[in-house]
A = this chain, B = another copy of it.
Amino acid sequence: MPTTRSKIDIIYQPIQSELGQVDQSLRNLGGSESQHIKHLLGYLFDRGGKGLRPALTLLSSKLFNNKVNHNAVTMATAVELLHIATLVHDDTIDDSSIRRGKQTISKRWDSNIAILVGDYVFATSATIVCTTGNLRVVHRFSETIMELSSGQLMEYLKSHDPTPNREEYLTRIYLKTASLFRTALETGALLSEAPESALKHLVDYGYNLGMAFQIVDDILDVEATEKEMGKSVGNDLLQGVLTLPTIIFLEENPNDDSIAKFFGSKGNPEHLKQIISRIQSSDIIERCYSEAQRYCYKAKTSLRNFPKSDALTSLEKLVEFVMERRR
A201 at the interface (CB under 8 A from B): no
Using Cβ atoms and an 8 Å threshold, which residues of chain B touch A149?
116, 119-120, 123
Chain B interface: which of A136-144, A244-252, A308-316?
A136-144
Partner pick for A153 among B117, B133, B148, B152, CB 8 A cutoff: B117
Report yes or no: A89 in contact with B113, Cβ–Cβ below 8 A.
no
Tell me, in angstroms, the Cα distance from A40 to B156 when the chains sit together.
13
From A31-39, A267-275, A299-307, give the one contacting chain B. A31-39
Q: How many angstroms between the C-alpha atoms of A124 and B146 in the bound complex? A: 6
Q: Is A232 an interface residue (CB 8 A)?
A: no
Shortest Cβ distance from A85 into B: residue:
B119
- How many copies of this chain are found per oligomer? 2
B residues less than 8 Å from A118 (CB atoms):
115, 119
Known contacts being A130-B135, A143-B127, A145-B123, is A150 close to B33, with CB within 8 Å? yes
Q: Which residues of B contact A152 (CB under 8 A)?
A: 116, 119
A298 to B153, CA, bound (A): 44
A181 CB-CB contact with B under 8 Å: no
Q: B33, B119, B153: which contacts A116 (Cβ < 8 A)?
A: B153
CB nearest to A130 among chain B residues: B139
Contact A93 B122, beta carbon cutoff 8 Å: no
Q: Which B residue's beta carbon lies closest to that of A132?
A: B135
Judged by a CB distance under 8 angstroms, whether A97 is at the interface is no
Query: Measured between alpha carbons, how far is A213 from B124 in the docked complex, in Å?
Result: 26
Contacts of A148 in B (CB 8 A): 119, 123
Question: In whole angstroms, how far apart are the Cα atoms of A138 and B112 in the complex?
Answer: 27
Query: Using Cβ atoms and an 8 Å threshold, which residues of chain B touch A34?
Result: 154, 157
A176 to chain B, nearest CB (A): 11
CA distance A93 to B113 in the complex (A): 9
CB pair B120–A142 under 8 Å, yes or no, is: no
Instruction: Check if B146 sits within 8 Å of A123, measured CB to CB.
Output: yes
CB distance from A160 to the nearest CB of B (A): 13
Residue A287 at the chain B interface, CB threshold 8 Å: no
Q: List 23 A-B contacts (CB under 8 A).
A: A34-B154, A36-B157, A36-B158, A37-B154, A89-B116, A92-B115, A93-B115, A93-B116, A112-B156, A115-B118, A116-B149, A118-B119, A119-B122, A119-B145, A119-B152, A120-B149, A123-B148, A123-B149, A124-B146, A126-B126, A127-B143, A130-B135, A131-B139
Binding site for B on A (CB under 8 A): 33-34, 36-37, 40, 89, 92-93, 111-113, 115-120, 122-124, 126-127, 129-131, 133, 135, 138-139, 142-143, 145-146, 148-150, 152-154, 156-158
